[in-house]
Structure 1
Amino acid sequence: MKFKLGSKIIQSNQQPYVIAEIGVNFENDFQRAKKIIKLAKEGGADAVKFQSYKAEKIACKNSPYYWDLKEVNVKSQYKLFKKFDKFGFKEFNQLKKYCDKLKIDFLSTPFDLDAVDYLDNLVPFYKVASADLTNYPLIKKICQKNKPIVLSTGASNQKEINNVLKFINKVNKKIRVILLHCVLSYPTNNKDANLNLIKSLKKTFKNKIIGYSDHTLPDQNMIILTKAYQNGAYVIEKHFTDTKGLKGNDHFHSMDKDDLIKFRKNIDLLNKIDGNLKKREILECEKKSRINARRSIVAKNNISKGERLTLNNLIMKRPGFGISPTKIFKVLGKTAKKNINEDSIINFKDLI
């Protein structure tokens, strides 16, 4: 498996493509946005992702909430989105230039048709949010841009995934689609993460790259993201912040720079211990152990010249310099050419 996404070539047994989703965690502060981008780069992210929307184009004014009110105490989608919809092409264009300077991919999820248009010159591919998996007008517009689509599958069923893939193929057969397993719940309880669905998606869509968009609370050792990678997720997306655990927005379920570094180290270790052997071979590091820890056929006691060798006067002992125990039946019944001392390694030259 090998493919290019953004500026990175992704291969099996190598680091995944990591999207640090800043979203609106910069809270309309341009300098803070740059600060978080820099932290993401330092942590090892391949891309940072924002969200491009206007409240009046994404939600009715009476749209109810779907998040944890203990963390985000706003009951109206419209009010929450209105609070953080201040950036447009001008600001994102400047942030794109800053990303180019740091050599990290710039992304932003479009939530309306205008955003699709102005992001076309800024993003290497489009990310479609789980909630817009059935938003065919938006997806059609994206398909017309001839760029890869990374599609989150949260809150969908198999039929809906099949249908949207058929729709994309109908609109533009050349579009490459990467599917992300996702659970549309903020935060996602660990028991609901269902990471085995990554394996299921890989089995069902054999010609598609599969990834994971995570909304669980960051665990101490970043095991959840690591397990997602082990299950076959080669694109990893998770919210990212400079203020981990802060209430409001997506801070409370976001990872930070230290989390990302820890995750990258986990993957390095996994790939190191997985190795690349296709069949069992003797490793260089095993050669000394192979000789010294394996056994040879040894004299159990003093053996006199002319004495016949039997299981009563032989024993299998380390090291493995002599005749291998696998050849015991070639030794049994032979006689000693000379006296053989107890604890001596048997050699064929001493036998007749």
Structure 2
Amino acid sequence: MNLTINGKKITRDGQEVYLIVEAGVNHGGDINIAKSMIREAAEAGADAIKFQTYKAEKLASKNSPAYWDRTKEKSESQYELFKKYDSFWIEEYKVLADYCKQCQIDFMSTPFDSDSADFLNELMPAFKIASADLTNHPFIRRIARYQKPVILSTGASTLGEIDEAVRVIEDEGNSQISLLHCVLSYPTKDEDAHINMIKHLKNVYPQYVIGYSDHTVADPSMMTLNTAAFLGARIIEKHYTYDKTLEGNDHYHAMDANDIKTFKNNMRVVNNVLGQYYKEPLKSEEQAIKYARRSLVATQDIAKGTIITEEMITWKRPGVGISPKYLDLVIGREAKLNIKEDDILIWEML
């Protein structure tokens, strides 16, 4: 099964990777910073930029404990953290969606409640559901009914829980599903990334596009994301910031515009060299086949009528004469004409 997002076809076994950079709320509630992040992500080559849409009081109780690295993000509760960044709502997201169109990058935002899902449906081509909502079947059902592609992160979930969520979407007649391997730990240690699970998801769900949502600290070469792509991830999502040195929230494990360029350039190189699947000689190899391969060559003058022995011949470049693979067919034959030392043997000589 393939996905189509805003006219872009994402194939399960294709070479192209759809990159979603998650700005989340790293704009800090500043619309101009959010627009700048959109512009820079588009210029760097990202396919989509995704925000997060919520109101703190709808998302978490005031007693919800923190589950992230408190040395990086000091908020004591989820409510405290979310309250810092929940200023954007309908009007702001309309502005950002319009600006994405101007910059030619797909707009997305993960909704965390029914109200935000409803108004975001008018603004974006696909829905991304966070790992934390994988067991929130009423919410998943509501989103599935919009009949748009559903990208579902699977952090901290069992296969049984994933199956249940997939079934909820399918039961609404929606088969445009992508499942993203994800580790729900901020930041994710490299040894906890377990991106081999991408292959497991591909085997278990052969009908769906599989991807990866990354929470590791961005490495300079973007090796983690590129490896995920090599393993079959065709949608990749990673947090995105305009300044990785900023403290708090999702800045400390995010990629920036330069990282986007690195990843995209790596993928261009890979896609250029991957080429076709079927093994056969290529047009670019024609000269090498002719001149770099070997032919049977006389090691001495051979008079007409002489029976050819193994000592009389060797193999040298170019490959325009009798191939060395026919050595046994040449030995024991009679020379039809005089052959000089270093002559390349052809069948007409024998």
- For this structure pair, what is the TM-score category when the shorter chain's length is used for normalisation? over 0.9
Give the secondary-structure state (helix, strand or coil) at the position aligned to 1:229.
helix
Aligned equivalent of 1:276: 276
Rounded Cα–Cα distance in structure 2 between residues aligned with 1:63 and 1:289:
68
Alpha-carbon displacement from aligned partner over 1:298-343 (angstroms, at most 9, x marks no partner)? 1122223322101111112211111112222332112223332222
- TM-score, scaled to structure 1: 0.95
Contact 1:15 1:264 in 2 (8 A): no
Q: Which moved more, 1:341-350 or 1:74-83?
A: 341-350
Aligned equivalent of 2:173: 173
Rounded Cα–Cα distance in structure 2 between residues aligned with 1:223 and 1:185:
19
Rounded Cα–Cα distance in structure 2 between residues aligned with 1:208 and 1:158:
14
Map residues 65-144 of structure 1 onto 2, 5 A cutoff. Answer: 65-144=66-145
Map residues 1-352 of structure 1 onto 2, 5 A cutoff. Answer: 2-11=2-11, 12-170=13-171, 172-278=172-278, 280-351=279-350
Residue 339 of structure 1 aligns to which amino acid in structure 2?
N
Contact 1:147 1:175 in 2 (8 A): no
Q: Which runs of 5+ in 1 are unaligned?
A: none
Contact 1:187 1:216 in 2 (8 A): yes
Alpha-carbon displacement from aligned partner over 1:100-119 (angstroms, at most 9, x marks no partner)? 11121111111111111121
Q: Which moved more, 1:297-306 or 1:56-65?
A: 297-306
Residue 285 of structure 1 aligns to which amino acid in structure 2?
S
Contact 1:303 1:336 in 2 (8 A): yes
Give the secondary-structure state (helix, strand or coil) at the position aligned to 2:9.
strand
Rounded Cα–Cα distance in structure 2 between residues aligned with 1:290 and 1:245:
54
Contact 2:244 2:254 in 1 (8 A): yes
User: Residues 69 and 46 (structure 1 numbering): CA distance in 2 closer, same or farther, change over 3 Å?
Assistant: same
Give the secondary-structure state (helix, strand or coil) at the position aligned to 2:107.
strand
Equivalenced residues, count: 349
Rounded Cα–Cα distance in structure 2 between residues aligned with 1:176 and 1:65:
33
Residue 243 of structure 2 aligns to which amino acid in structure 1?
T
Displacement, 1:234? 0.9
Give the secondary-structure state (helix, strand or coil) at the position aligned to 2:116.
helix
Displacement, 1:216? 0.7
Residue 325 of structure 1 aligns to which amino acid in structure 2?
P
Alpha-carbon displacement from aligned partner over 1:244-274 (angstroms, at most 9, x marks no partner)? 2322110111111111111111111111111
Alpha-carbon displacement from aligned partner over 1:149-186 (angstroms, at most 9, x marks no partner)? 1100001011110111122223x023422111111111
Residue 261 of structure 1 aligns to which amino acid in structure 2?
K
Contact 2:4 2:149 in 1 (8 A): no
Alpha-carbon displacement from aligned partner over 1:14-56 (angstroms, at most 9, x marks no partner)? 4311111100000000100000000110111111111111111
Alpha-carbon displacement from aligned partner over 1:218-255 (angstroms, at most 9, x marks no partner)? 11111111111111111111111110232211011111
- TM-score, scaled to structure 2: 0.96
Give the secondary-structure state (helix, strand or coil) at the position aligned to 1:253.
coil
Residue 30 of structure 1 aligns to which amino acid in structure 2?
I
Q: Which runs of 5+ in 2 are unaligned?
A: none
Residue 140 of structure 1 aligns to which amino acid in structure 2?
R
Alpha-carbon displacement from aligned partner over 1:119-142 (angstroms, at most 9, x marks no partner)? 121111111100110112221221
